């Protein structure tokens, strides 16, 4: 398990590289050029300057999250070819600087969705929360009109330009079925995976978060059967999954440890976090500790260990603790605590495996 930590870049993150390098066992940052719109080629000089900045701190840039997929690709529009070409050029550029994994997602319109970014837990910390009924009842177009009154209803996909285009996007997706989305994903992967392979980069799709349809939009990366289907769409080791325990784990039918056991050789990147589920379908993000949430993090880490996992892992989100002011879910403290919990499980499994000959420095 190679531990990495998401970093949004200088001036765009409250956490510093100096802090990241002091978290035990963290070897690199998970990054992106967040200011570039989906569909554009990432310029080499921007990539190189980011690399230089990170490497000064002894960290690497081997994992990118995300290179976002342009909406025209997901919609299967004729204009998609130009965006796929740009995607391929970005892969080549990233391959040149030693990137090994590109995480991306194929969710129409929105990335992850929550209804409250600062919901209080019993201990006074706050975390990302999802109220199922609130989303189910919501007419997104109506919501756009009222957005000013809903400052806490934030979605990462809701940058201003996209907001304006929302009505148009919803109309465009009206006739797109789940099967259409599968076809569009296949079209994309058939072109992109060979380039990824030539450049030594594993593509790793992120599951949908939450893993069910919202606002009537199709969502397909939701469960074990569909991950299996994705891996067969282009049956190549460079077509992989970012197995996100928090995204998949909010559906109680999903057993993430079981997925690790089944798909181990196609998981180049693990997102590890815990979530607590409520009977009405609401959920809240918790500390990584297994007993704090509904996902059996211990069994899942054991599954990675049993399979000799050598991929990258990051603590996905954390709570906001000790009064930290940070990007929602992306503070330093709780994610660092999560890492220590993960290493605790991992090291004890490692010690067991090696038997008595294990020594602290081996």
Q: What is the 3-state secondary structure (H, E, C) of the chain?
A: CEEEEECCCCCCCCCCHHHHCCCCCEEEEEECCCCCCCCCCCCHHHHHHHHHHHHCCCCEEEEEECCCCCHHHHHCCCCHHHHHHHHHHHHHHHHHCCCCEEEEECCCCCCCCCCEEEEECCCCCEEEEECHHHHHCCCHHHHHHCHHHCCCCCCCCCCHHHHHHHHHHHHHHCCCCHHHHHHHHHHHHHHHHHHHHHCCCEEEEECCCCCCCCCCCCCCCCCHHHHHHHHHHCCCCCEEEEEEHHHHCCCCCCCHHHHHHHHHHHCCEEEECEEEECCCCCEEEECCCHHHCCCCHHHHHHHHHHCCCCCEEEECCCCECCCCCCCCCCCCHHHHHHHHHHHHHHHHHHHHHHHHHCCCCC
Known catalytic residue: 206? yes
Strand order in 283-286's β-sheet? 116-120, 126-130, 283-286, 274-277
Query: Which residue in the set 4, 102, 103, 250 belongs to the binding site for ligand DNO (CB under 6 A)?
Result: 103
d(Cα 362, Cα 345) in Å, to the nearest integer? 17
Set 184, 316, 333, 341: catalytic member:
316
Nearest distance from C-beta of residue 348 to ligand DNO, angstroms: 27
Q: Does 104 bind ligand DNO (CB under 6 A)?
A: yes
| 20-28, 46-54, 97-105, 259-267 -> range binding ligand DNO (CB under 6 A) | 97-105
Q: Does 271 bind Mn ion (CB under 5 A)?
A: yes
Known catalytic residue: 244? yes
Query: Which residue in the set 90, 239, 247, 255 belongs to the binding site for ligand DNO (CB under 6 A)?
Result: 247
Nearest distance from C-beta of residue 206 to ligand DNO, angstroms: 4
Known catalytic residue: 326? no
Tell me phi and psi for residue 28, to 5 degrees: -160, 170
- What's the distance, CA 160 to chain centroid? 22
Q: Which does 65 bind (CB under 5 to 8 A by kind): Mn ion, ligand DNO, none?
A: ligand DNO
Nearest distance from C-beta of residue 205 to ligand DNO, angstroms: 8
**Preceding peptide of 210 cis, ω within 30°:** yes
Known catalytic residue: 334? no
Known catalytic residue: 320? no
Known catalytic residue: 87? no
Query: Which residue in the set 116, 208, 316, 334 belongs to the binding site for Mn ion (CB under 5 A)?
Result: 316
- CA 86, 112, 159: angle at the middle one, nearest 5? 60
Q: Does 105 bind ligand DNO (CB under 6 A)?
A: yes
Query: Which residue in the set 181, 201, 227, 244 belongs to the binding site for Mn ion (CB under 5 A)?
Result: 244
| 10-18, 72-80, 98-106, 194-202 -> range binding ligand DNO (CB under 6 A) | 98-106
Nearest distance from C-beta of residue 243 to ligand DNO, angstroms: 11
Set 70, 184, 288, 317: catalytic member:
317
Q: Which does 283 bind (CB under 5 to 8 A by kind): ligand DNO, Mn ion, none?
A: none
Across-strand partners of 60?
28
d(Cα 227, Cα 263) in Å, to the nearest integer? 9
Pick out residues in 126-165 that bind ligand DNO (CB under 6 A).
Answer: none
Q: Does 111 bind ligand DNO (CB under 6 A)?
A: yes
Q: Using CB under 6 A, count the residues that bind ligand DNO.
A: 14
Nearer to ligand DNO, 105 or 115 (CB): 105
Q: Does 113 bind ligand DNO (CB under 6 A)?
A: no
Q: Which does 320 bind (CB under 5 to 8 A by kind): ligand DNO, Mn ion, none?
A: none
Q: Which does 203 bind (CB under 5 to 8 A by kind): ligand DNO, Mn ion, none?
A: none
Query: Which residue in the set 114, 119, 206, 320 belongs to the binding site for ligand DNO (CB under 6 A)?
Result: 206
Set 244, 305, 334, 341: catalytic member:
244
Residues that bind ligand DNO (CB under 6 A): 65-66, 103-105, 111-112, 206, 209, 244, 246-247, 271, 316
Residues that bind Mn ion (CB under 5 A): 244, 271, 316
Q: Catalogue the active-site residues.
A: 206, 244, 271, 316-317, 330
């Amino acid at each position: 398990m190679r531990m990495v930590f998401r970093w949004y870049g200088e001036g765009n993150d409250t956490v510093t590289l100096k802090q990241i390098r002091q978290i035990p066992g963290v070897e690199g940052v998970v990054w992106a050029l967040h200011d570039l719109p989906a569909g554009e080629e990432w310029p080499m000089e921007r990539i190189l300057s980011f690399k230089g900045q990170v490497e000064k701190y002894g960290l690497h840039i081997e994992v990118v999250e995300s290179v976002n997929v342009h909406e025209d690709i997901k919609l299967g529009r004729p204009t998609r070819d130009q965006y796929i070409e740009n995607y391929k050029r970005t892969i080549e550029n990233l391959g040149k600087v030693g990137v090994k994994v590109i995480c991306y997602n194929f969710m129409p319109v929105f990335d992850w969705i929550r209804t409250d970014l600062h919901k209080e837990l019993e201990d006074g910390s706050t975390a990302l929360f999802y109220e199922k009924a609130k989303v189910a009842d919501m007419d997104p177009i109506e919501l756009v009109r009222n957005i000013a009154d809903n400052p806490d209803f934030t979605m990462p996909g809701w940058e201003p330009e996209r907001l304006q285009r929302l009505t148009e996007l919803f109309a465009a997706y009206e006739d797109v079925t789940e099967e259409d989305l599968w076809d569009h994903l296949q079209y994309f992967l058939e072109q992109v995976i060979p380039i990824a392979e030539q450049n030594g980069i594993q593509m790793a799709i992120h599951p949908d978060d939450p893993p069910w349809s919202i606002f009537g939009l199709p969502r397909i990366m939701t469960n074990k059967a569909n991950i299996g289907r994705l891996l067969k769409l282009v049956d190549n080791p460079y077509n992989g999954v970012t197995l996100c325990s928090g995204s998949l784990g909010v559906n109680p039918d999903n057993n993430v440890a079981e997925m690790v056991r089944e798909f181990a050789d196609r998981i180049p990147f693990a997102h590890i976090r815990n979530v607590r589920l409520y009977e009405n379908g609401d959920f809240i993000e918790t500390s990584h500790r297994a007993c704090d949430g509904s996902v059996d993090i211990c069994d899942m880490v054991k599954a990675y260990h049993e399979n000799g996992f050598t991929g990258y892992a990051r603590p996905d989100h954390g709570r906001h603790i000790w009064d930290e002011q940070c990007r929602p879910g992306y503070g330093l403290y709780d994610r660092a605590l999560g890492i220590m919990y993960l290493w605790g499980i991992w090291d004890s499994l490692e010690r067991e495996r090696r038997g008595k000959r294990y020594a602290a420095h081996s």
